[in-house]
Amino acid sequence: MLLAVDVGNTKIKAAVFKDDTLSDRFVFNAVEAVKAIENIFAKHSKITAAILSSVGKASPELLYTIEKNVPVTIVDHQTPVPFKTSYATPHTLGVDRIVLSAGAVLNHPAQNRLVIDAGTCITYDFIDDKDNYYGGAISPGIRLRYEALHNFTAKLPLLTREMPVSVTGNSTVESIHSGVVNALIFEIQGFIDYYENKYDNLAVILTGGDAEFLAVRFKNTIFANSNFLLESLNQLYLYTQND
């Protein structure tokens, strides 16, 4: 069994896999991390290896807790991946984007792929049907948009995400929800339309913490999977073992 750990900007997510099957999933914050990992190993004694990705720097205590139980693979820019990159600054490419792109290639062979990760930031990554990674885009996520409106104005309230009733908000609160959520939906749809118009046989994968919230507003041809990064970590581990 494999333990996959994703250290994100706001939360740490982990999952236990048996081959290609996700058997258990966990979400916790950095303060809880060491105890949470210890509990995972206590619950799943058959874990034999781990793989970890981090958008920042995983704490030494977290790494030690994993390493004292099983060997751990830490994904970085030297990790073998199933695609070629023409990204101008590969050393600055986020590890999460590397993992998601690898998962897209391994899950959707011989297709053009657009991966949209709706988390703290919204990232867009495009890999063509010949497994060439080109890059994409980065924009603020839902929470950052709400916080920016509150923090950089004098009177706008801080709201939490809510699906707008209409595009045309008839109150300040409804206008904020429309401006944040509808604008993001239009943005995402615009990126999808651009790639669909330019490339045939396009697989669109929507993932991240806000994926399920947003997915209801898109066509069902989109693959919405909030666990895609964890699943991609598992598949990348298997790929590196067979490489």
Active site residues: 96
8 Å CB contact between 149 and 161: no
Q: How far apart are CA 75 and CA 179, in angstroms?
A: 36
Count, residues in the chain: 243
- Provide the 3-class DSSP secondary structure of residue 155: coil
Degrees, nearest 5: CA angle 198-202-205: 125
As given in the structure block, the two tokens for residue 223 are: 């693959």
Tell whether the torsion through CA atoms of 218, 118, 211 and 214 is positive or negative.
negative
The distance from CA 69 to its chain's CA centroid, rounded to whole angstroms, is 26
Q: How far apart are CA 231 and CA 18, in angstroms?
A: 11
8 Å CB contact between 235 and 166: no
8 Å CB contact between 73 and 52: yes
Q: In DSSP terms, which residues pair with 13 in a beta bridge?
A: 6, 27
